[in-house]
Amino acid sequence: DYELCEEWGHLYPVPREDLINLHREHLLHLLETGDMEKALQLLQRIEDPGICLAISEQSLDQHPSLAASHFLADYLTTHFYRNLTTARRNEIQALYMGSKVLLTLPDLSRVSYVHLSSRPLLMLEQLLMNMKVDWVAVAVQTLLQLLGGQEVGFAVEDIDNLLSKYAEKALDFPFALKEKRS
């Protein structure tokens, strides 16, 4: 049905908003079925960059699945980096990093952290608080690889400070050790 509507749009003038809605729904359908290749082809077929940007942003704002959010955040930062405001750019890049970290976690535990996908530092802190040390190691490695010179509202120093804070708490003893006398 989406393809028929797209062909119809080539033959007859369709209002811009209706065209955006059509492509957005088609894109979300493709992403939810896991067909990233066709989703990319759909975005590449759209000739007007303004419409493509609107479709991508609106699709991301619909809070699709984790893989779809990751795809859209990557597409937006790759193709429309200069068209985004600094705040929006940081928000999308944080979502990209958070979704990448979530994808490194075991499938069954992603549900517990998906609400933090746009806040990677908070996700890292939650993993530390839940004592998921192995997951934290993978998450830190992923974040360090992705940070490479990008501005996302936090830096490597923030990760180091967070790890230091929790390492200090792990070594803090709430009671004084007393010698036993016989």
The mean pLDDT of the chain is 86
The secondary structure element, H or E, covering residue 38 is: helix 36-45
- Among 115, 81, 79, smallest CA distance to 98 is for 115
Whether residues 60 and 96 share a domain: the answer is: no
pLDDT for residue 182 is more than 60: no
Whether residues 122 and 154 share a domain: the answer is: yes
User: What span, in angstroms and rounded, lies between the C-alpha atoms of 18 and 41?
Assistant: 20
Whether residues 12 and 66 share a domain: the answer is: yes
Q: Which domain holds residue 129?
A: 88-170
User: What span, in angstroms and rounded, lies between the C-alpha atoms of 50 and 101?
Assistant: 30
Whether residues 76 and 122 share a domain: the answer is: no
pLDDT for residue 178 is more than 90: no
> How many domains would you assign to the chain?
2
pLDDT for residue 71 is more than 90: yes
Whether residues 80 and 139 share a domain: the answer is: no
Whether residues 18 and 51 share a domain: the answer is: yes
Percent of the chain with pLDDT over 70: 92
Is residue 175, in this structure, part of any structural domain at all? no
- Token duo for residue 90: 């940081």
- Token duo for residue 174: 């709430």
